[in-house]
Amino acid sequence: MHKEFSPDPDGKKSAGSKKIYRAPDKRNIQGRKRCGEFLGRSAAFLAAALVVALTVSIIYFIGSKGLATFTVHGVRVTEFLFSTQWWPDRPLEEGGPAVGSLTFILGSLLVSLLAVAVSAPLSVIVAVFMVEIAPVWGQRALQPAIEILAGIPSVVYGYVGLSLLVPFIRNYLGGEGFSVLAGFIVLSIMILPTIISVSTDSLRALPPQWKEAALALGSTRWQTIRLVLVPAARSGLITAVVLGLARAFGEALAVQMVIGNTRTIPHSLLEPTITLTSAITMDMGYTIMGSLWNSALWSMGLILLLMSFLFIMVIRVVVRGGMVR
């Protein structure tokens, strides 16, 4: 009797008669588990490492192409950054070629700063409204509205700007319609959802006791918001605005469609100008790889890349310095 239930060393004797329970080989399962764990962990790590590799290669390739203007074609950095002489196709006899891109840089800075100046106050107002003031139905209406605004593709913003805003400006305010004004209005609407959602998050993260304490001291709601909540959420709000600025600075097609793309420094909001992104968009397909004109466009891409680094650094410094203690 006992024999049948004891493990059979060579497994021949009772093979046909009765099924025998075999304890699973523990070492083997442990081994397989460890192997699975190792494989899974490595795959996850490789995917994360790929993100780093991708970033490094983007920096390397854009950097090396962008620097060719200075290393291969011998343009001085100061000339590229601070000159407005843009004659990339003018022959040597007529004083060319020159690739001063100050006009483009100024155009980009101008429209994105104006866009933020319009968008940031409105966004903070809406964020405070959503967190502190709105009744439940107000939040239910605004949250999806902001998500939809964020989801609308930038070409659609550009197209509405082109078919609604540009004729409006032309008919009622004067000028060609294609203008700095149209550019920054389109951008300011595009960056609204970015600023609103980050500001809302930072206002929601504040400890409720602060508000309660302020109200208990007899402050009105406005005083609480202005003197306690907004200052306390300062670092989050600045982060939101910088993110909005970054988005406005890098936006290409929507701006290109409404800004007019003339290589002149504008003297009023109703005049057209050009930005770095729209110059790249328009000319990249028509220039020959490796020519001076082409290299100058890559250098503009490099400027965009460096600007986005600058924005990340600003956010990091602000967040680190403004932690709620």
By C-beta, is 106 or 134 nearer to other proteins? Answer: 134
Chain center to CA of 156: 18
Indicate which single residue of 76, 95, 220, 324 sits in contact with other proteins (rule: CB under 8 A).
Answer: 220
Q: Which stretch binds other proteins (CB under 8 A): 19-27, 43-51, 77-85, 167-175?
A: 43-51
Q: Which stretch binds other proteins (CB under 8 A): 11-19, 45-53, 175-183, 264-272?
A: 45-53
d(CA 214, CA 207) in angstroms, rounded, equals 12
State both tokens at 113.
Answer: 């700063």
Burial 193-226 (b: 16+ CB within 10 A, else e): bbbbbbbbebbeebeeeebeebeeeebeeeebbe
Q: Is the CA virtual torsion 119, 124, 130, 134 positive or negative?
A: negative
Beta bridge partners of 99: 86
Instruction: Enumerate residues 275-314 that contact other proteins by CB under 8 A.
Output: 277, 280-281, 284-285, 289, 298, 301, 304-305, 308-309, 311-312
Q: Indicate the DSSP class of residue 7.
A: P
CB of 76 to other proteins, least distance (A): 23
CB of 63 to other proteins, least distance (A): 11
Instruction: Enumerate residues 148-167 that contact other proteins by CB under 8 A.
Output: 148-149, 151-160, 162-164
CB of 322 to other proteins, least distance (A): 17
Indicate which single residue of 45, 76, 90, 205 sits in contact with other proteins (rule: CB under 8 A).
Answer: 45
CB of 48 to other proteins, least distance (A): 4
CB of 159 to other proteins, least distance (A): 5
CB of 115 to other proteins, least distance (A): 14
DSSP letters along 160-197, please? HIIIIIHHHHHHHT-S-S-SHHHHHHHHHHHHHHHHHH
By C-beta, is 5 or 61 nearer to other proteins? Answer: 61
| φ, ψ at 282 (rounded to 5°) | -80, -40
Q: Are 208 and 229 in contact (CB under 8 A)?
A: no
Q: Is 204 in the site for other proteins (CB under 8 A)?
A: no
Instruction: Enumerate residues 13-42 that contact other proteins by CB under 8 A.
Output: 33-34, 36-37, 39-41
Q: Which stretch binds other proteins (CB under 8 A): 20-28, 170-178, 213-221, 265-273?
A: 213-221
Q: Are 111 and 187 in contact (CB under 8 A)?
A: yes
Q: Indicate the DSSP class of residue 8.
A: P
Q: Which stretch binds other proteins (CB under 8 A): 171-179, 201-209, 217-225, 230-238?
A: 217-225
Instruction: Enumerate residues 240-269 that contact other proteins by CB under 8 A.
Output: 243, 246, 249-253, 256-257
CB of 95 to other proteins, least distance (A): 29
Indicate which single residue of 77, 133, 213, 317 sits in contact with other proteins (rule: CB under 8 A).
Answer: 133
Q: Are 234 and 190 in contact (CB under 8 A)?
A: no
| φ, ψ at 27 (rounded to 5°) | -65, -40
Place of tokens 């924005």: 311
Place of tokens 């950097």: 63
Separation of first and last alpha carbons in the chain = 75
Q: Which stretch binds other proteins (CB under 8 A): 52-60, 78-86, 109-117, 197-205?
A: 52-60
Instruction: Enumerate residues 71-110 that contact other proteins by CB under 8 A.
Output: none
* DSSP-based three-state secondary structure for 208: helix
